[in-house]
Amino acid sequence: MLVISAGIRPRDELAKLCGLQTGTRGGIVVDEKMQTSDGCIFAIGECALYEGVIYGLVAPGYEMADIVVSQLTNGSKLFHGYDMSTKLKLIGVDVASFGDAFITEPDCRTIVFEDTHKGVYKRINLSTDGRQLLGGILIGDADAYNMLLQTVNNKIVLPPNPEDLILGSRGGSESEGAGVMSLPDDALICSCEAVNKATICSTVSDLGITSVDGIKKCTKAATGCGGCVPLVKDLIAGTMKANGQYIKNVLCEHFDYSRQELFDLVKINVLKNYDLVLDYFGKGDGCEVCKPAVASILSSLWNDVIVKQDTIQDSNDRFLANIQKGGTYSVVPRIPGGEITPDKLIVLGQVAKRYGLYTKITGGQRIDMFGAHLNDLPAIWEELIDAGFESGHAYGKALRTVKSCVGSTWCRFGLHDSVSFAIEIEERYKGIRAPHKIKGGVSGCIRECAEAKSKDFGIIATEKGWNLYVCGNGGSKPQHAQLLAADIDKETLVKYLDRFLMFYIKTAEPLSRTATWLNKMDGGLSYLKNVVVNDSLGLGHQLEQEMQSLVDTYHCEWKEVVDDPALRKRFTHFINAPEEKDPTVQFEPMRDQVKAKW
Ligand code: SF4
């Protein structure tokens, strides 16, 4: 008889009733043969407790199944523990640990990167001679997980600057290119199904399989937790390139098109929801890659109300708020250019006090309010909208802020009015959805107090007009924006910005920031300059028109919700008790305000 007991905690009630030995914190005790305290009964997976450890992952579960098969068929295979390296998404946050994650100094050297504002923490542990990676932990950004795991497993000698492994170096993602192809043939790519690099590469070369779906069918790689999909994709591309084959950059196994191709197809065929796009151009049921990518395309093309769409680009879009710690949500109204009247400041204070919200001024010159209950969001936003505020889109892959310095109105050094220009720019592009979030900055002189060059677009006043910089980036892989056009007037700058942003929205890969998009662009900045400034593709007018249509169809997403009783009803914690708030949300005092208890 096979008993399946599924869940996060070991379901050992039946085992206890049968008198099997269980652990003090749950789990059915097993030995290396996966035998319980009754030799006739085996236990595997998340209900089994081996040497005090519950292996809550799919790969050790498969390994345990193998052990039982071996035992039942008179084999001699035994279980001796399992590598617990894994990457998971927990409540919207990527977390990963690999190798020896908990080793501490002096037995190793550690490199730590922490950004508490963005909720990113990364730590890698190196051997004391700095030559080998021993393990590490990633929270909030686990893109580098696959290559870090391969570096540990294959004992790859570290580069001279091992910090680049978590900070990234200019020029692309950690998993791309030569890194993957330089792994040894026996490198385990899919640990769930024990598929190595050689198997995947030979499936591409010998059988002509060039899709992740095909690799899944032929080798079973990437059919377990799915964490190895990026590596499998890179191996397919790397092998095809080595064989001199043309590489088609498709969105995923459900769409045989790149994002750019799909963008044009959706536009030409005037498709307005995900199911139609899938019916027309896709196959299967869709996945976590194509659903947000298509949602982003639909938003960028039609500017429809995001909460009315059947698929969304980001989990925060579901409630038009960032999901924060302790089951709380944040409220971030738009404050264009960072300029705000005393009356509006008073309203923010009153709302924050009424709903018990923690307030903080952000790096983007806005005021974040944290600690909102889901049920309170519509009422909070109703008060803010009545006072003249709009959604700040802090939850979306959209234009966030255009930061400004004081500029010529108050600053003795100011050459032009940077605040007015920042407001004008932010009002123009507010709410525009893109492959990733976008930020801008405007400085009134070369002293650059708005830090405009660390933004996706930066504008700096000069004696003769304005300089426009593009594709800069803050965050974990900082990169200065590069000069696209110098000493131009405001009208020309807005025209170039329209073209630049629309070209990015149409051609960037899903979840690709402007800096990464430029780094991967054939011809780099000179190509981009040709397209935007010299109109080398003859698309300039079209890009401007497309941007204008997005500007003309702008709507405040929160106003749409506040004015629509059916949409407001979605903001409830319990569907069957809409008035009830989440009882697990708790706060504790902190510096005359509160913070979430969790
Ligand atoms: S960037 Fe120039 S104009 Fe702006 S605040 Fe700084 S010194 Fe003044």
- In the predicted structure, residue 509 carries a pLDDT above the cut 60: yes
Q: Could you tell which of 413, 415, 469 is best to mutate to test the pocket of ligand 1, judged by most ligand atoms within 8 Å of the CB?
A: 413
Q: Render pLDDT for 265-315 as a digit per residue (tens, 0 to 9).
A: 988 888 888 888 998 998 888 887 888 888 888 888 887 776 667 666 666
- The rounded distance, in Å, linking the Cα atoms of 281 and 261 is 11
User: Which atom of ligand 1 approaches the CA of 411 most closely?
Assistant: 8
Fold of 188-242: Arc Repressor Mutant, subunit A (1.10.10)
| CA 410 to ligand 1 centroid distance, Å | 9
Q: Confidence class of residue 7 from pLDDT cuts 50, 70 and 90?
A: low
| CA 115 to ligand 1 centroid distance, Å | 27
Are 338 and 422 contacting, i.e. CB atoms less than 8 angstroms apart?
Answer: yes
- The rounded distance, in Å, linking the Cα atoms of 432 and 400 is 9
| CA 449 to ligand 1 centroid distance, Å | 5
Q: Confidence class of residue 169 from pLDDT cuts 50, 70 and 90?
A: very low
- The rounded distance, in Å, linking the Cα atoms of 572 and 49 is 39
Pick the residue whose CA is nearest to atom 2 on ligand 1. 445
User: Which atom of ligand 1 approaches the CA of 407 most closely?
Assistant: 3
Nearest-CA neighbor of 362 among 384, 394, 385, 322? 394
Are 586 and 326 contacting, i.e. CB atoms less than 8 angstroms apart?
Answer: yes
What φ, ψ does residue 400 adopt, rounded to 5°?
Answer: -95, -80
Architecture of the domain whose range is 13-72: 3-Layer(bba) Sandwich (3.50)
- Taking residues 582-598, report their average pLDDT: 87
- In the predicted structure, residue 176 carries a pLDDT above the cut 60: no
Lowest mean pLDDT segment, chosen from 316-320, 351-355, 581-585: 316-320
User: Which atom of ligand 1 approaches the CA of 406 most closely?
Assistant: 5
User: Which atom of ligand 1 approaches the CA of 450 most closely?
Assistant: 1
Question: What b/e sequence results for 202-219 when a residue is b if at least 16 CB atoms lie within 10 Å of its CB, and e otherwise?
Answer: ebbeeeebbbbebbbeeb
* Per-residue model confidence (pLDDT) at position 30: 97
Q: Render pLDDT for 442-479 as a digit per residue (tens, 0 to 9).
A: 999 999 999 999 999 999 999 999 999 999 986 667 88
| CA 491 to ligand 1 centroid distance, Å | 22
Nearest-CA neighbor of 168 among 142, 189, 137? 142
| CA 408 to ligand 1 centroid distance, Å | 8
Pick the residue whose CA is nearest to atom 6 on ligand 1. 449
Are 68 and 48 contacting, i.e. CB atoms less than 8 angstroms apart?
Answer: no
| CA 368 to ligand 1 centroid distance, Å | 25
Are 257 and 294 contacting, i.e. CB atoms less than 8 angstroms apart?
Answer: no
User: Which atom of ligand 1 approaches the CA of 443 most closely?
Assistant: 1
Domain ranges of the chain: 13-72, 86-171, 188-242, 399-552
Q: Is the dihedral of CA 558, 560, 564, 570 positive or negative?
A: negative
* Per-residue model confidence (pLDDT) at position 170: 38
Q: Which residue ranges have their beta carbon within 6 Å of ligand 1?
A: 405-407, 411, 413-414, 418, 443-445, 447-449
- The rounded distance, in Å, linking the Cα atoms of 284 and 287 is 9
Which residues, at least 6 apart from 594, have a Cβ–Cβ distance to it below 8 Å? Answer: 356, 358, 371, 587, 588
- The rounded distance, in Å, linking the Cα atoms of 473 and 455 is 5
| CA 396 to ligand 1 centroid distance, Å | 30
Q: Which residue has the tokens 């109204």?
A: 333
* Per-residue model confidence (pLDDT) at position 313: 64
| CA 440 to ligand 1 centroid distance, Å | 16
Q: What is the 3-state secondary structure (H, E, C) of 326-358?
A: HHCEEECECCHHHCCCHHHHHHHHHHHHHCCCE
User: Which atom of ligand 1 approaches the CA of 414 most closely?
Assistant: 3
Q: Render pLDDT for 63-117 as a digit per residue (tens, 0 to 9).
A: 999 999 999 999 999 999 887 788 776 666 889 999 888 887 788 899 999 888 8
DSSP characters for 203-268?
Answer: HHHHH---SHHHHHHHH-TTSSS-TTHHHHHHHHHHHHHHTTPPPP--SBTTBSS-HHHHHHHHHH
User: Which atom of ligand 1 approaches the CA of 408 most closely?
Assistant: 3
- As a CATH number, domain 399-552 is 3.30.413.10
User: Which atom of ligand 1 approaches the CA of 415 most closely?
Assistant: 3
* Per-residue model confidence (pLDDT) at position 89: 67
For the whole model, what pTM was predicted? 0.64
Fold of 86-171: Enolase-like; domain 1 (3.30.390)
Which residues, at least 6 apart from 452, have a Cβ–Cβ distance to it below 8 Å? Answer: 403, 440, 441, 442, 443, 458, 459, 460, 469, 472, 481
Going from the C-alpha of 189 to that of each of 84, 133, 194, 211, 221, the distances in angstroms are 15, 17, 8, 16, 8
Going from the C-alpha of 66 to that of each of 2, 48, 295, the distances in angstroms are 15, 14, 41
Distance separating the N- and C-terminal Cα atoms of the chain: 41
Q: What is the 3-state secondary structure (H, E, C) of 268-304?
A: HCCCCCHHHHHHHHECCCCCCCHHHHHHHHHHHHHCC
Are 102 and 150 contacting, i.e. CB atoms less than 8 angstroms apart?
Answer: no
- The rounded distance, in Å, linking the Cα atoms of 553 and 300 is 11
Q: Could you tell which of 418, 463, 469 is best to mutate to test the pocket of ligand 1, judged by most ligand atoms within 8 Å of the CB?
A: 418
* Per-residue model confidence (pLDDT) at position 445: 94
| CA 517 to ligand 1 centroid distance, Å | 30
β-pairing, 53-54 with 48-50? antiparallel
Domains 13-72 and 86-171 are alike in CATH topology: no
Q: Could you tell which of 339, 403, 406 is best to mutate to test the pocket of ligand 1, judged by most ligand atoms within 8 Å of the CB?
A: 406
Q: Could you tell which of 445, 454, 462, 467 is best to mutate to test the pocket of ligand 1, judged by most ligand atoms within 8 Å of the CB?
A: 445
For the beta carbon of residue 579, count every other beta carbon within 10 angstroms. Answer: 8
- The rounded distance, in Å, linking the Cα atoms of 343 and 358 is 19
Query: Token pair for residue 277?
Result: 């796009």
Question: What b/e sequence results for 477-510 when a residue is b if at least 16 CB atoms lie within 10 Å of its CB, and e otherwise?
Answer: bebebbebbeebeeeebbbbbbbbbbbbbbbbbb
C-alpha dihedral, 15 to 16 to 21 to 27, nearest 10°: 70
Are 152 and 135 contacting, i.e. CB atoms less than 8 angstroms apart?
Answer: yes
Q: Could you tell which of 405, 410, 442 is best to mutate to test the pocket of ligand 1, judged by most ligand atoms within 8 Å of the CB?
A: 405
In three-state secondary structure terms, 91 is coil
Q: Could you tell which of 339, 408, 410, 411 is best to mutate to test the pocket of ligand 1, judged by most ligand atoms within 8 Å of the CB?
A: 411
Are 83 and 134 contacting, i.e. CB atoms less than 8 angstroms apart?
Answer: no
